[in-house]
Structure formats: C-alpha cells, structure tokens
Structure 1
C-alpha cells in the first residue's frame, strides 16, 4: 500500500510519494517530447519535422493489446478510500483522440471509460470525459483555464475541494516530463510529487489522504463537500496560506474553482 504525502510544518506538503518505488510505468502517457512538439507545429501551421510521430487515429488509440482499464477497475474495487466512478460522456472518444493517449495508459483509461472519479467523499476529483456531476471534462477544464490541448507544457488532470490542483508536467517545470505536480493552496506553490500519473491514481485510491490533508480539513467537511458542485471548491477566509489557529476557525463558502484558481495565481506564467 502506498504511503501518503506528508506535510512538513503547518503549510508545506513534503512533495514526494515515499512509499512508491519508481517503476517502469507502461501506462504513463506521452505528453511531452516528440509528439507534443509535432502537435505544436501542426497547430501553428508549420511543416512536420522529418521523423516526427504522426497523429494517431482513434482506432489506433483504442486497439491496444493490454488496456489499463481492467487492472484499474480491480484497483478501484479494492480501494481503501471511497470512490465514485462517473459514467463516460459521449465525447470520450473525441477527448481521447485530442489528448493522443491510448487505452494502454491510465490517463487514457480514465478519460475514455469514465466521466471522472470522485475520491474520498468527493474531496478529490480526477477528471475524465466529463459528467453533469462534475460539470467539466479534462479537456474542457484545461481549455477553460487557458491551456492548449494539446500543446501546453502543463496538463491539469484533477483537483481537490480546497483548490489544490494536480497536473502533469510536459515542460513547464524543471524535472522529469510526465511527473505530476501539485499546486498547494496552503503554500501557493507548485511542487513535484516525484511520480507519474499512474502512481498518483494509486495513492489517491489507497493512500492516507487524511494525513496528506491534515492541515486543511475541518470538522464536518464531508457534509459540506458533498453539497458542493463538482466545478466548485471551498473558499476559506483567512485563506489557507495565511496564519490562523485552526482550519475550523476560518469562514467557508463554495465558489467556482476557476475563480479560486485565478485568485491563487496557480496558472500565471512562470517568471
């Protein structure tokens, strides 16, 4: 069972998944390198570089010998944390083709086979092809946030009830492409989790989320989070990055997540 991300001090998460050994991740999507560069050239109207990979058809993305979904289904069925699997949208195939990830990847499986995952009473939302409950898909959420799909060096893949964001690094940050970074609302900073998307999913399903979110949850959060829409997050005052005795002493109200992300400056250009 994976160990949780541990928060050092009152605000700052540790930024690693210490209990998960780095494994060859056959389900890790190719969101950087040659394919991303090729798609950027196409979007910009530039000729494709010789030898660059071509855009794959939806049939090619679906026709894989070892799809990730069956093993992911088993993992969800035995998950330590409660999980709601939302049904996929009619646009699942179009979203998969736009992302250019196959069903061999965990990301492809979640986008094509689900509308998204609601984990731990809806505290964490992993994005799929969208549903009424979430009010957005992975692709539409990135576009709403001003990120190109494909072509942007950052891909938002999930978020939490207090405005934390999970994103795959495709060149925006230093470090390994494909690693997941987390925007922590209690430190207003992006931090590498040191692992890829598949390991993130495993941690969210089975890890100690109570420990990871120990400094930001309040008594009775389950009821308040369950009442929020899937496109909302809880705005707290004083904000999580400001000094306060306890999270319970902060006032709370649900607001659109896009509003909270904008106020936090999570997606502002890096200097």
Structure 2
C-alpha cells in the first residue's frame, strides 16, 4: 500500500515529475497545514499528509483537477468540505468532487467521485495514495474522455482557482452531453458544486 512507509513527499514528488501532463504545485500555508494535519490525525509519511504539508494544492492536467492541500491562491484547504460528503480531496473544473469516504463497516475509506454528468457518488475502490498515483500517472485522460471539448486546455487555464465552468444545458441532461455545443460560463466553484448537488436532490429526493 502506498504512503504508509518512507517519505510520503519523495514518493509524491517522483510521481509528479513523471506525470504525462502538467502538474503545478501551490506553495503551502504552514499554519493551515499544521492545523489540517492535526485535525485529520495524519502524518507526512502518508500521501495525504505529504500533500497537505508540502503544497497548498496540486493543479493537474492544465488545472482541470485541483487536488486540495493546505490551501492558497483561491484554493481552499482540505478541511473546507469535511463533513457530510466525507473529506473532499479534489474538484474538477466542471464541479465534480473527489471525496475520501468510509466504505462498508470495518473497511478502509476509499475515494468516491460525484460526477456532474450522472449526479451520483461512484466508489472508485482506491485509497487516497492509489487514487493520487493513478491521477499523476495519466488516468484523467481516460476518466474524462466524454467530458472534454476541443480547446478545453486554454479555456481552463484562464480560470481563477476558485472558479469552475458552468454548462447550459448541464452535462447531466441529454442535450448537454456534447460539451463542445453547450454554453460554458465561469462561475464560483462553490456555487457550481451546490448547483450539482441541488440537481441531485431534485432527481432523488431521498438524498
């Protein structure tokens, strides 16, 4: 299992250096990093602790994915969403969320993805370190194959880190599946995430 022994940051740094797409690191906020580590009870030997202690966050694949650390440059720290949806560890530019959630009783937490295209939580069946290693090894290309459009890289790079892209019609609708043909507008990421969860509640009132 990754991130249990040795230096977590040496392992993460090596994966960043070998990534097939650009990965940018935001400088850490030492005070917030210390608070996050203490609150979560993790050490810098783990990949999660290493990311928190050594970065404000990771901007992966032309900033399409923002992996949360100790926060900075408009990116929140990893504790901002701790609660109902577990520990949110990353956002994609469309308002999708990656959260570290408890699985079945007695099992280790795994990363789950809330997608803007189906408005459901999907268990990726990976721990944090294995998920991040896959992300840094190139998994985003296949994972988002149907949620990208020609020229998305330059469009995403123009956004602030507290912004995402709102599409109309939304990707959860039949009309919004082709993201090259929809209206795309930058809006605050918090607002975008809230909109997706509200649509999920309307779709399934028991959620």
Partner of 1:192: 123
Partner of 1:53 in structure 2? none
Q: CA RMSD in A?
A: 2.3
1:66 is displaced (CA, Å) by: 2.5
Superposed CA deviations along residues 126-169 of structure 1, whole A, max 9, x for unmatched, are 0000111x431112x22xxxx44xxx671100010111100001
**Separation (CA, whole Å) in 2 of partners of 1:209 and 1:153:** 22
Identify which of structures 1 and 2 has the higher relative contact order when contacts are C-alpha pairs closer than 8 Å and 6+ apart. Answer: 1
Q: 2:69 — aligned with what?
A: 128
Q: Residues 233 and 153 (structure 1 numbering): CA distance in 2 closer, same or farther, change over 3 Å?
A: closer
The whole-number CA distance in structure 2 between the counterparts of 1:246 and 1:153 is 28
CA drift at 1:25: 4.1
CA distance in 2, matches of 1:175, 1:259: 35
Given the two structures, how large is their TM-score scaled by the length of structure 1?
0.68
What is the rounded CA distance, in whole Å, between the counterparts of 2:21 and 2:28 in structure 1? 21
CA distance in 2 between counterparts of 1:243 and 1:223 reads 26
Tell me the distance in 2 between the aligned counterparts of 1:249 and 1:99.
Answer: 42
Separation (CA, whole Å) in 1 of partners of 2:93 and 2:138: 17
Map Cα deviations across residues 194-228 of structure 1 (whole Å, 9 max, x no partner): 11111111111112422211111111111111111
Which residue of the partner structure matches residue 185 of structure 2?
253
SS in 1 for 2:38: helix
CA distance in 1, matches of 2:191, 2:106: 29
Kept in 1: contact 2:150–2:180 (CA 8 A): yes
Task: Could you tell me which runs of 5 or more consecutive residues in structure 1 were left unpaired when the two chains were aligned.
Answer: 1-23, 28-64
1:183 alignment partner in structure 2:
114
* 2: CA distance, partners of 1:83 / 1:176: 31
Once the two structures are TM-superposed, the CA of residue 170 in structure 1 deviates from its matched residue by 2.7
Aligned position for 1:155:
87
Give the conservation status (yes or no) of the 8 Å contact 1:118–1:124: yes
> Larger Cα Rg: Structure 1 or Structure 2?
1
Q: Name 2:143's counterpart in structure 1.
A: 212
1:75-114 matches, cutoff 5 A: 75-91=15-31, 92-114=33-55
Q: Which residue of structure 2 aligns with residue 233 of structure 1?
A: 164
Report the TM-score, using the length of structure 2 for normalisation: 0.88
CA distance in 2 between partners of 1:84 and 1:174 (Å): 36
Contact conserved, 1:155 with 1:169, CA < 8 A, in 2?
A: yes
User: For 1:207-258, what per-residue CA distance to the aligned partner results, in whole angstroms no more than 9, with x for missing partners?
Assistant: 2422211111111111111111112111001100111362111000011111
| Aligned length, in residue pairs | 201
Q: CA deviation at 1:78?
A: 1.4
d(CA) in 1 for partners of 2:50, 2:137: 18
